[in-house]
Amino acid sequence: MKKFLFIALAAITLSSCADVSGALFAGGDGTYDFKNTYLDPEFQVDESKIHLLDLESGTQDTIYALYVGDFAQIATDTIIVFLHGNTPSMDSYWQTAGLFANLVNKHHYGFIMYDYRGFGWSTGRSTGAASMAADYDAVLSFLQAQGLTSERMVVVANSLGSLPAGPAAAGGSRIPVQKLVMEVPQSTANVIMQNATGLSLPASMITSYTFDLGQNMEDYTGELLWMHGTEDAVAPIETAEAAMQKHQGTYYQEAVYDGAGHGLRWDIGDEEWSKVVLDFIRH
């Protein structure tokens, strides 16, 4: 068994080195069937405000994004930019989109999320920091062209979304990030590797993609809200806390919940989750 495991890991290493989607993260087809039928009544939206976008990322890839709201709203109102976690596609976050679209009241804020390369219908493969940064930049380029400015943008990163969000907040965003929500963030490649394989192995065995969320937070000068549960087995609170508390920006807030796991919003409830996020946005 040990010999077979070694051979299998060696094959992954040779075939997937430097390839994020092939090595560590789930990717797959999406349906993109964004309808009120699949939303709880309190999260339903005006279906005329649901827009599926295809955006050019890099020189040859296309990523798909969902915008909920009026395009004209982008030039005047606050827009939530959501970077989703490790699921096959953004389909899994349609309820989240509905929640954000109903903060305060229906369509008070605009909302956009997107699938990284190799997730959902997005083409190509996520090969590292450069590809994930390019996907993020494709979305920001669209928003900038529609008139979005820094003081009206809130970036919300869930789990895997912390990988592109960290460098973006640290200065790698064409629209500077002034408000950042890190929800159950991943902090190191090694943690993701160990959760993906169930083995205590270094991420360098199958990918050259490394990241330092703690350093990103040291370099981020804006406002930060960190949300986490003490029983998170996917993104351990100890490593996340060490990274988040390196933040020295203009404002820092943490919301840590005893007994909550990686599905934080479901564990603490939509009302509590929404209150904390909304209070931060309004700060």
Please tell me the distance from the alpha carbon of residue 80 to that of residue 224, in angstroms, as a whole number: 14
Strand, coil or helix: what is 60?
coil
Q: Any idea how long the chain is? A: 283
The parent domain of residue 46 ranges over 2-282
10 Å CB burial of residue 272 (0-12, 13-18, 19+) is: middle
Task: Give the per-residue pLDDT at 20.
Answer: 53
Average pLDDT, the chain: 87
Q: Are 159 and 235 in contact (CB under 8 A)?
A: yes
How many angstroms separate the Cα of 34 from the Cα of each of 26, 67, 89, 139?
21, 11, 12, 19
Q: What's the CATH number where 163 sits?
A: 3.40.50.1820
pLDDT, tens digit (0-9, with 9 covering 90-100), for 225-258 = 999 999 999 899 999 999 999 999 999 999 999 9
Could you give the CA distance from residue 112 to residue 83 in angstroms, rounded to a whole number? 9
Instruction: Kindly state the average pLDDT of the residues 169-191.
Output: 90
pLDDT at 128: 79
Tell me the average pLDDT across 149-176.
Answer: 97
- Range in 5-9, 171-175, 193-197, 244-248 with the lowest mean pLDDT: 5-9
pLDDT-derived band at 197 (thresholds 50, 70, 90) equals: low
DSSP assignment string, 41-90: GGG---GGGEEEEEEEETTTEEEEEEEES-GGGGGTS-EEEEE--SSSSG
Query: What is the per-residue pLDDT for 187?
Result: 79
Please state, for a pLDDT cut of 90, what percent of the chain lies above it: 76
pLDDT of 180 > 70? The answer is yes
* Euclidean distance between CA atoms 114 and 73, whole angstroms: 19
pLDDT of residue 29: 77
pLDDT category at 198 given cuts 50, 70, 90 is low
How many structural domains is the chain composed of? 1
Rounded average pLDDT over 76-102: 96
Q: Helix, strand, coil proportions of the chain in percent (round to 5)?
A: 45, 20, 40
Structure tokens at 87: 């699921």
DSSP secondary-structure letter at 209? Answer: -
